[in-house]
């Protein structure tokens, strides 16, 4: 039996890489404020900060602003009558407004909702003869341009943030190489002394951290070759250009988009982006090879990756899905929320209950490196 390890943002966070949406947003505003304080103006494609009365001498007390205070400071600037602050990005605006609970999966869901919103004039089954597709194409181009801007800014931030932090830890190596436990299987019990014949790390992250573990496990004595798939590409493009967008084709509204005549709407739909490199094929070959167990490390299992996760979870060779949950400071954990998200990717709910390992037989994902903040 093989093992597929699904790796999400929580994996990088556990290694001290501050890769949340809120981390990125704080850094983005911090840089903007710093430029404004030094030059008297900040301008990019979606954010413009300048004095309200440029002909007058502008005097503002320059506070020391860092990523821990930038969001609060930026909000104060927006309410400052002596300034003009224009934030023209819907995605950045909503992310800032809901920053305490806004994650990357929420960002990708928002992108999809904006695509749908632009299509509200075209209802399913309605005669499209008089629908203005050129106007719609222009709206979609604007949404896509906004996504690309945020993607590029985030990747720039992530290169800086992850520098020097791509270091492995023995606890994670041990977890990835652990034997199968008999109680982790209902449909077919695993051999309690058996270790995986092969392991594949399926990472949804862009940093080289996952590759470090794949290489380390390959070099382990008595451990077979470990493959890695950067399904969303990586920072240096060596495993494909980074993919940002949405990936749930099961949504009933997706059919509405497919009936349209505007191909720009598919520009950042993940399943089309998967065709730009062999990563998806490599994953499918691994799944088709033999039976496998799934480990989940730090992935939200949200709908923005729904198409791919459904293929994996409902695959005929899948025998067990083991969640390594996040344990909060108060002792509670996110196992239940994670199980809700996983269930959304199953059309057969009995199969869902048969494959997902009960909470009592799962454990918390180790948090061995303290977050920087």
The answer to whether residues 284 and 352 belong to one domain is yes
The answer to whether residues 7 and 73 belong to one domain is no
Mean pLDDT, rounded, for 138-160: 96
In a domain, 186, yes or no: yes
- 24, 101 in Cβ contact below 8 A? no
Q: What is the pLDDT of residues 238-255, one digit of tens each?
A: 999 999 999 998 888 888
Q: Does 368 or 150 have the greater pLDDT score? A: 150
The answer to whether residues 323 and 338 belong to one domain is yes
Range of the domain at 183: 2-19+162-364
Instruction: Choose the most confident range, by mean pLDDT, from 60-74, 236-250, 305-319.
Output: 305-319
Last residue of a domain, one of 78, 102, 126: 102
The answer to whether residues 43 and 11 belong to one domain is no
d(CA 86, CA 155): 23
d(CA 205, CA 214): 14
In a domain, 65, yes or no: yes
In a domain, 112, yes or no: no
Mean pLDDT, rounded, for 300-312: 95
Instruction: Give the residue carrying structure tokens 């909060």.
Output: 328
d(CA 247, CA 272): 9
Last residue of a domain, one of 85, 102, 119: 102
Nearest to 201 by CA among 209, 190, 189, 192: 209
- 301, 345 in Cβ contact below 8 A? yes
Nearest to 272 by CA among 237, 308, 239: 308
pLDDT of 309 above 50: yes
> Counting every residue, how long is the chain?
373
The answer to whether residues 7 and 63 belong to one domain is no
- What pLDDT does residue 371 have? 42
Mean pLDDT, rounded, for 353-364: 96
Q: Does 222 or 159 have the greater pLDDT score? A: 159
**DSSP alpha helices (H): ranges in 40-84?**
70-78
In a domain, 40, yes or no: yes
The answer to whether residues 219 and 280 belong to one domain is yes
pLDDT of 107 above 90: yes
Can you read off the two tokens belonging to residue 69? 């205070």
Query: How many CB atoms are located within 10 Å of the residue 224 CB?
Result: 14
d(CA 45, CA 51): 18
d(CA 57, CA 62): 15
Q: Does 269 or 132 have the greater pLDDT score? A: 269
In a domain, 149, yes or no: no
pLDDT of 268 above 50: yes
The answer to whether residues 13 and 30 belong to one domain is no
In a domain, 181, yes or no: yes
- DSSP-derived 3-state class of residue 83: strand
Angle between helices 90-97 and 21-39 (to 10 degrees): 110
List own/partner pairs for 125-128 with CB under 8 A and 24 or more apart: 128/259, 128/260, 128/261
- What pLDDT does residue 367 have? 82
Mean pLDDT, rounded, for 283-299: 97
d(CA 6, CA 299): 7
Share of the chain above pLDDT 90, in %: 69
Domains: count for the chain? 2
Q: Give Cα separations from 105 to 186, 204, 300, 301 (angstroms).
A: 31, 12, 8, 9
Nearest 5°: phi and psi at 246? Answer: -135, 150
Last residue of a domain, one of 102, 129, 149: 102
Q: What is the pLDDT of residues 24-56, one digit of tens each?
A: 999 999 999 999 988 989 999 999 999 988 655
In a domain, 178, yes or no: yes
pLDDT of 122 above 90: no
The answer to whether residues 195 and 280 belong to one domain is yes
The answer to whether residues 39 and 58 belong to one domain is yes
The answer to whether residues 168 and 308 belong to one domain is yes
The answer to whether residues 281 and 214 belong to one domain is yes
- 47, 87 in Cβ contact below 8 A? yes
- What pLDDT does residue 124 have? 46
- What pLDDT does residue 373 have? 38
In a domain, 372, yes or no: no
The answer to whether residues 13 and 44 belong to one domain is no
């Amino acid at each position: 039996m093989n093992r597929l390890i699904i790796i999400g943002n929580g994996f990088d966070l556990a290694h001290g890489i501050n890769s949340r949406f809120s981390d990125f947003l704080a850094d983005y505003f911090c840089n903007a404020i710093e430029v404004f304080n030094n030059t008297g103006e900040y301008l990019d494609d979606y954010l413009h900060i300048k004095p309200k009365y440029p002909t007058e001498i502008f005097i503002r007390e320059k506070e020391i602003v860092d990523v821990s205070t930038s969001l609060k400071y930026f909000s104060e600037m927006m309410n400052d009558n002596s300034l003009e602050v224009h934030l023209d990005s819907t995605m950045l605006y909503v992310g800032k407004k809901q920053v305490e609970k806004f994650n990357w999966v929420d960002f990708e869901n928002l992108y999809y909702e904006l695509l749908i919103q632009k299509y509200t004039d075209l209802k399913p089954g309605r005669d499209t003869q008089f629908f203005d597709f050129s106007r719609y194409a222009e709206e979609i181009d604007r949404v896509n341009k906004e996504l690309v801007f945020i993607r590029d800014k985030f990747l720039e931030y992530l290169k800086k943030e992850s520098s020097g932090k791509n270091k492995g830890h023995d606890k994670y190596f041990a977890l990835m190489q652990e034997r199968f436990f008999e109680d982790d299987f209902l449909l077919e019990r695993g051999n309690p002394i058996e270790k995986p014949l092969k392991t594949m790390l399926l990472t949804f992250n862009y940093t080289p951290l996952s590759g470090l573990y794949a290489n380390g496990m390959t070099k382990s004595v008595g451990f077979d070759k470990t493959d890695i798939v950067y399904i969303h590409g990586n920072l240096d493009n060596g495993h494909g250009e980074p993919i940002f967008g949405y990936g749930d084709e099961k949504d009933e509204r997706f059919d509405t988009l497919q009936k349209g005549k505007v191909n720009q709407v598919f520009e950042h739909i993940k399943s089309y982006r998967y065709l730009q490199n062999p990563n998806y094929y490599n994953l499918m070959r691994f799944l088709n090879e033999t039976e496998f167990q799934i480990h989940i490390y730090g992935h939200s299992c949200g709908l923005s990756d729904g198409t791919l996760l459904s293929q994996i979870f409902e695959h005929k060779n899948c025998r067990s899905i083991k969640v390594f949950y996040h344990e909060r400071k108060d002792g509670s954990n996110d196992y239940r929320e994670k199980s809700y998200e996983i269930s959304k990717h199953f059309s057969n709910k009995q199969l869902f209950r048969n494959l997902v390992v009960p909470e009592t037989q799962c454990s918390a994902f180790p948090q061995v490196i303290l977050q920087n903040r």
